[in-house]
Amino acid sequence: MAVALGNDAAGAAGMTISCFSMSPRSLSVEEAHQLLSSMMPAPLDIEAVALHCALERVLACDIVSPINVPAYTNSAMDGYAMAWQQGNYRFRLVGVALAGHGFAGPLNPGECVRVTTGAPLPEGADTVVMREQVELNGNDVIVLAPEKVVPGQNVRQAGEDICQGQTALTQGTRLKPQHLGLAASLGMAVLKVYSRPRVALFSSGDEVRAPGTPLAEAQIYDTNRFALHGLLTKLGAEVIDLGILPDQEGKIRDALQAASTQADMIITSGGVSVGEADWIKTVLCELGDIGLWRIALRPGRPLAFGHIGSVPFFGLPGNPVAVMVTFIQFVQPMLRHMMGQRDWYPQRFMAIADEPMHSRRERIDYHRGIFRCDEQGQLHVRTTGAQGSNILTSMVRANCLIEIDEHHEQVAVGERVTIQPFGELT
Ligand code: AMP
Ligand code: MG
C-alpha cells in the first residue's frame, strides 16, 4: 500500500510514503515535522466540563466576558475614600463602606468614608488615602502628607482587568490554574473543551517483562510503557494501557487491529528497526498506510508513522531515551493539535556550553543536559555524561535537551548551543 502525500515536505524529501520503502536519504527533523503537519487529524469532539475539571484541557471556543472585571469601582486599600480636592487635607467622616457592603448615598465635597480593600467606592469619591497616612481628630480625617496624594490613587476602576464584551480567553488555550481563576471571575461554572485523546499504548519485544514480575535470563523490564504513560498523562491524554506485545506477527496484528477500534491514537515502542524480530512494520503494512522514516536525529532515528484505519499510529524506537525524545519532538505536537491547542511551540533558549560536545553533520543530536544560570544571568549547559539511547539515567539527571543542529560536528567550550528546557512534560 502506498500513500502519495503530494505535499511540499514529501516532495522536498524526494519521497512517497509507502509501506517501509526507505526514503533515499534520512528525513531532516524539519521535514519530518512538515510531513506530520500535513497529516494532522482534525481536533477531537467538544464537551462541556465543570470548571474544576478543566485544568490542562483545551478551550474549544472564545470566552467573551459577560461582565466588567472588576464589576464595580472599588478600593485597593484599607483607608478613607473621598473626592480629592487639591489644597484640602481635612475631610469629615460620614460613614463606612466594607467589602460586600457599600455606602448608601453620594459623598459631598469635603466628606469621606472609611473603606476596606474591595469595598465599592461611594458615588462622588475618586481617591483612597491609606489608613496609615491619616490622623483622626474627632469626626475629622486629617491627611498627613496631602502633597504626596495623587488624585485617583488606590482605586481599581470597573472593567480595568476585563471589559464586558471583551474576549477574555481564546479558543485553543490550554487551561492553566490562572485561566481557571479568570473564567471563574467571569462567573463561568462550565467550559467547553476538546475531548481528551484516548491513546492505546503497547510495548513490544519477547524480552520485555512487566515490573513486579521476576526476570529470567535475557529479559528486561518494560521501561517505555511507564515513561510514555507519564508523558501522555501529563499531556492530558487518556491512556489505554494494552501491555506488552510478543514478537509474533499474529498477536501483533490482532492487538493493533483491536486497538484501532477504541483509540484516537496508537503508540508502540520497539520493533521498528530492521531486525528479524521487528514485526511491527510487517503487520502495519497489512493493516494500514504506514511509512518507516529514517529521521536524521539521535537518539530516535527509526520512526514508523501512519494510520490503522483512520487512527494515527506512531511506532517509536525501542531504546528508552529515544522513545522519550521522539515522543517529545513528534508525538507531542500531534496530540496537542488533536486536543485543539493552538500556537504551541517547544521552548528554546541559547546557553553557553561548559564542556565540548560532539555531534555529526546532517543530523540533529539531542544530548541530555543540565543548564544553570550564572550570577550575570547567562545560561550555561553541560551534558549529563554518557549519552547512549538506552541510558535513561541521562533523562533523570537532565533538566533540558541540548539541540546540536545539522551544521555542527562539535561544540567547543564557550560556544552557544540551543537548549529545550524540560517543561510541562518532563
Ligand atoms: P528494538 O527496536 O525492538 O530492537 O529495541 C531496541 C532496544 O530497546 C532493545 O535493546 C530492546 O530490548 C529495548 N527495548 C525495547 N522495548 C523496550 C521497553 N519497553 N523497555 C525497555 N527497553 C526496551
Ligand atoms: Mg524488539
pLDDT tens-digit readout, 82-103: 999 999 999 999 999 999 999 9
pLDDT tens readout for residues 254-306 = 999 999 999 999 999 999 887 777 888 888 888 888 887 889 999 988 899 99
Query: What per-residue confidence (pLDDT) applies to 19?
Result: 53
Instruction: Report which of 219, 221, 220, 263 is spatially closest to residue 241, judged by C-alpha positions.
Output: 263
Measured in angstroms, how far is the CA atom of residue 270 from the centroid of ligand 2?
5
Boundary-marking domain end, from 126, 156, 186? 156
Whether residue 310 sits in one domain with residue 203: yes
Query: What per-residue confidence (pLDDT) applies to 10?
Result: 45
The strand pairing partners of 357, in sequence order, are 411
Query: What per-residue confidence (pLDDT) applies to 15?
Result: 39
Measured in angstroms, how far is the CA atom of residue 19 from the centroid of ligand 2?
19
- Report the CATH number that the domain containing residue 168 is assigned in CATH: 3.90.105.10
Measured in angstroms, how far is the CA atom of residue 221 from the centroid of ligand 1?
10
Q: Which residues line ligand 1 (CB under 6 A)?
A: 203, 205, 207-208, 220, 222-225, 269-273, 275, 317-320
The answer to whether residues 240 and 259 touch, using CB atoms and an 8 Å cutoff, is yes
- In the structure grid, which three cell numbers stand for residue 52, read together? 474544576
- Report the CATH number that the domain containing residue 406 is assigned in CATH: 2.40.340.10
**119 located within any domain:** yes
Structural domain containing residue 406? 349-425
Asked if pLDDT for residue 47 goes beyond 90, the answer is yes
> What number is the average pLDDT over the span 308-317?
95
**20 located within any domain:** yes
**373 located within any domain:** yes
- Report the CATH number that the domain containing residue 200 is assigned in CATH: 3.40.980.10
The 10 Å CB-count burial string (b at 16+, else e) for 283-294 is bbbebbbbbbbe
Atom of ligand 1 nearest to the CA of 207: 12
- For 26, other C-beta atoms within 10 Å of its C-beta total 19
Asked if pLDDT for residue 12 goes beyond 50, the answer is no
DSSP character at residue 330: I
- In the structure grid, which three cell numbers stand for residue 199, read together? 491513546
Instruction: Please report where in the chains the cell 522514516 appears, as a residue.
Output: 293
Asked if pLDDT for residue 21 goes beyond 80, the answer is no
Distance CA 215, CA 222 (A): 11
Whether residue 255 sits in one domain with residue 326: yes
- Report the CATH number that the domain containing residue 84 is assigned in CATH: 2.170.190.11
Q: Pick from 220, 244, 274, 326 the residue to mutate for probing ligand 1's pocket: most ligand atoms within 8 Å of its CB.
A: 220
Ligand nearest to C-alpha 222: 1
Number of domains in the chain: 4
**4 located within any domain:** no
Whether residue 300 sits in one domain with residue 235: yes
Query: What per-residue confidence (pLDDT) applies to 8?
Result: 43
With cut-offs at 50, 70 and 90, classify the pLDDT of residue 13: very low
**80 located within any domain:** yes
Whether residue 172 sits in one domain with residue 50: yes
pLDDT tens readout for residues 71-80 = 999 999 999 9
Whether residue 321 sits in one domain with residue 417: no
Instruction: Report which of 204, 217, 346, 324 is spatially closest to residue 275, judged by C-alpha positions.
Output: 204
Please state the separation of Cα 335 from the chain's center in Å: 11
Whether residue 231 sits in one domain with residue 331: yes
Distance CA 258, CA 15 (A): 30
**3 located within any domain:** no
Q: What is the DSSP string of 142-162?
A: EES-GGGPPTTTTEEPTTSSB
Residue 214 CB contacts under 8 Å (≥ 6 apart), including other chains: none
Boundary-marking domain end, from 288, 304, 338? 338
Whether residue 223 sits in one domain with residue 298: yes
Whether residue 188 sits in one domain with residue 50: yes
Ligand nearest to C-alpha 207: 1
pTM: 0.89
Whether residue 189 sits in one domain with residue 54: yes
**324 located within any domain:** yes
- In the structure grid, which three cell numbers stand for residue 187, read together? 462567573
Three-state DSSP at 87 gives coil
Query: What per-residue confidence (pLDDT) applies to 4?
Result: 36
> What number is the average pLDDT over the span 59-83?
97
Whether residue 400 sits in one domain with residue 382: yes
Atom of ligand 1 nearest to the CA of 269: 16
Ligand nearest to C-alpha 303: 1
For ligand 1, atom 17, the nearest C-alpha belongs to 318
Whether residue 263 sits in one domain with residue 211: yes
Asked if pLDDT for residue 108 goes beyond 80, the answer is yes
**94 located within any domain:** yes
Measured in angstroms, how far is the CA atom of residue 269 from the centroid of ligand 2?
8
Whether residue 326 sits in one domain with residue 287: yes
| Mean pLDDT (the chain, rounded) | 92
